Amino acid sequence: MSRTRSAVAVLGTLVLLALVAVTQIGARRADQASLEQRVHDFTRQLTPRGPYRPPDPAERDAVLGAIAALVPTGPAAGGDTRDAHRVLRDAGFIVEVAQDAAGRGFLLVRSDPSSARSWGLIALPLGRAPRLLVEVPHPNSDYNTENVGLAVLAIVPDAVYIEAGAHRRAADGRADVAHAEDSLFHALAVDLSVRMRLPQLQLHGFGERDDLDDDVVLGPGDADPAVRELADPLEEAGLSVCRSWVQRCPELEGSTNVQGRAAARYGLPFAHVEMSASTRRRPESVARALATLAG
């Protein structure tokens, strides 16, 4: 009888431990934020008063090399990535796996917005070779552009998402990565697009204007044919489009954008997409048309 009681006691203890373990695992899963939540939480922290400095050349090159090692393409895909993770952590990044709303995995690399090394947020598709770069250079300034970017990513999950790590007016405007060749954002956009021959979809926003009635301005003026072809699906989605290569779209053509200029030098598609506030509030209205840039 005593042996039976002992066995029952041991079994009861094991069951209790198993229940505790399952509860802890469930709690951890509940605490894991989705990709969309991580992006939104990151974006909300970016303010004009936030700290920022560009990386020095050694820092820039180290991060570029680490990201290159983590992109799921080429003969090194799936290899030992511990060194790359270490380099990114040493540069102040958090590296984690996040799932989007559809359950697809991304390697999420994000800096600390409270640090001067707030250089960006990068989402790399896990196990899927990229076909597109989705870029958000002015988060929390061109409001809701990150929502449009995430909506495009939901349609083209084999894309890389890049978001600037600081508000465009931080550090007296030095953090405006669309016009700063010393930014990590610019270095990543050029390196990834050139090395993998990827088209770039860069998302911007404009406010109410008396001199423009369109929903979307598509540029730059010397746009690649693949970019010009975006105009038709945008109009088919019910949006009015200012084509900067055939008409004047005041101050919104993207002619001074440094990522666009670099893409032109390498002969790669670069879509500079300016959207009205009402369009950005309805990401689904524009995302499917923009996603066609992936081919």
Name which residue leads in pLDDT, 4 or 132: 132
- For the stretch 235-262, pLDDT in tens is 999 999 999 999 999 899 999 999 999 9
Residue 223 pLDDT = 84
Predicted local confidence at residue 78, as pLDDT? 57
Over residues 151-168, the mean pLDDT reads 98
Distance CA(261)–CA(200), nearest Å, equals 12
- Judged on CB neighbours under 10 Å (0-12, 13-18, 19+), 112 is middle
Which of 60, 107, 53 has its CA nearest to residue 87? 60
179/3: higher pLDDT: 179
Task: Write down the mean pLDDT value for the chain.
Answer: 90
Calculate the CA 156 to chain-centre distance.
12
pLDDT of residue 211: 87
d(CA 97, CA 177): 26
Annotate the chain with DSSP letters as a single string: -HHHHHHHHHHHHHHHHHHHHHHHHHHHHHH---HHHHHHHHHHT--TTS---PPPHHHHHHHHHHHHHHSS-STTTTS--HHHHHHHHHTT-EEEEEE-TT--EEEEEE--TTSTT---EEEEESSS---EEEEESSTTTSTTHHHHHHHHHHH--SEEEEE-SS-TTGGGGTT-GGG-TTSHHHHHHHHHHHHHT--EEEEEEE---TT---SEEEE-TT--HHHHTTHHHHHHTT--EEETTTS--TT-S-TT-HHHHHHHHHT--EEEEEEEHHHHT-THHHHHHHHGGG-
Percent of the chain with pLDDT over 90: 83
Token pair, residue 64, equals 């570029």
Which pLDDT does position 32 carry in this prediction? 85
CA 141: distance to chain centroid?
A: 15
What pLDDT, in 10s, does the model give residues 132-157? 999 999 999 999 999 999 999 999 99
The pLDDT, as a whole number, for residue 76 is 46
- Average pLDDT in the 209-215 region? 91
- What is the reported pLDDT for 19? 36
Return the higher-pLDDT residue of 294 and 9: 294
Q: Which two tokens stand for residue 217?
A: 């301005």
Q: What is the pLDDT of residue 155?
A: 98
For the segment 41-69, what is each residue's pLDDT rounded down to a tens digit?
Answer: 999 999 999 999 999 999 999 999 999 99
Of the two residues 138 and 3, the one the predictor is more confident about is 138
The single-letter code of the amino acid at 278 is: S
Task: Tell me which of 4 and 86 has the higher pLDDT.
Answer: 86
181's tokens: 């060749």
Instruction: Convert the pLDDT of each residue in 225-242 to its tens digit.
Output: 999 999 999 999 999 999
Cα distances from 44 to residues 139, 150, 256, in angstroms, run: 9, 15, 27
Total length of the chain: 295
Q: Span 198-202, mean pLDDT?
A: 98
What is the SS3 assignment for 217-266? EEECCCCCHHHHCCHHHHHHCCCCEEECCCCCCCCCCCCCCHHHHHHHHH
Q: Say which range, 10-14, 158-162, 201-205, has the weakest mean pLDDT.
A: 10-14
> What is the tens place of the pLDDT at every residue in 14-34?
433 343 333 333 333 445 899
What is the per-residue pLDDT for 119? 98
pLDDT reported for residue 3: 54
